[in-house]
């Protein structure tokens, strides 16, 4: 059974700092892995999706990597800004079957000026 863990649960950094959010999964037979952003009381916004055949994806100041063999993914945020403050969730989609996403509990990020 796939389990997804995110560490740390919460993170507070000063503006401008580069930071890394971690996601680990127990079953390496994944179809893809997705990173989402969630603002308080809102729905999820997809940030990056990495297919199982890919090593990383980049969008602006965000870079996500995937290492299936070790069961890990990282989300790197460069030059953090207060507007980056949100909860970041990763979700692994298993190979085969329907489009089932297994979510981690998220990392709550606060970027202070």
Partner 1 sequence: DGGITQSPKYLFRKEGQNVTLSCEQNLNHDAMYWYRQDPGQGLRLIYYSQIVNDFQKGDIAEGYSVSREKKESFPLTVTSAQKNPTAFYLCASSLDRADTQYFGPGTRLTVL
Beta strand segments in 1-113, E: 4-7, 10-14, 19-25, 30-38, 44-51, 56-59, 62-67, 72-77, 86-94, 101-103, 107-112
SS3 93: strand
**Measured from the CB atom, is 18 or 45 closer to partner 1?**
45
For partner 1, give the closer residue by CB, 31 or 76: 31
Q: Draw the binding track, 49-88, toward partner 1 (x: CB under 8 A; -: no contact).
A: x---------------------------------------
- DSSP secondary structure letter of residue 9: S
103 is a contact residue toward partner 1 (CB under 8 A): yes
Judged by CB, which is closer to partner 1: 69, or 99?
Answer: 99
Identify which of residues 42 and 112 has a Cβ nearer to partner 1 in the complex.
42
Among 45, 58, 59, 81, binds partner 1 (CB under 8 A): 45
d(CA 107, CA 5) in angstroms, rounded, equals 10
d(CA 109, CA 76): 12
Residues that bind partner 1 (CB under 8 A): 4, 9, 31, 34, 36, 41-46, 49, 89, 91, 98-106
């Amino acid at each position: 059974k796939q389990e997804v863990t995110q560490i740390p649960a919460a993170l507070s950094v000063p503006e401008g700092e580069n930071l890394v959010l971690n996601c680990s999964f127990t079953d390496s037979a994944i179809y893809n892995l997705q990173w989402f952003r969630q603002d308080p009381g809102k729905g999820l916004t997809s940030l990056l999706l990495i297919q199982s055949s890919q090593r990383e994806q980049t969008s602006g100041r965000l870079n996500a990597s995937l290492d299936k063999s070790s069961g890990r993914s990282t989300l790197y945020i460069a030059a953090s800004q207060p507007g980056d403050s949100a909860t970041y969730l990763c979700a692994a989609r298993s190979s085969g079957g329907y489009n089932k996403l297994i979510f981690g509990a998220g990392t709550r990020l606060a970027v202070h000026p």
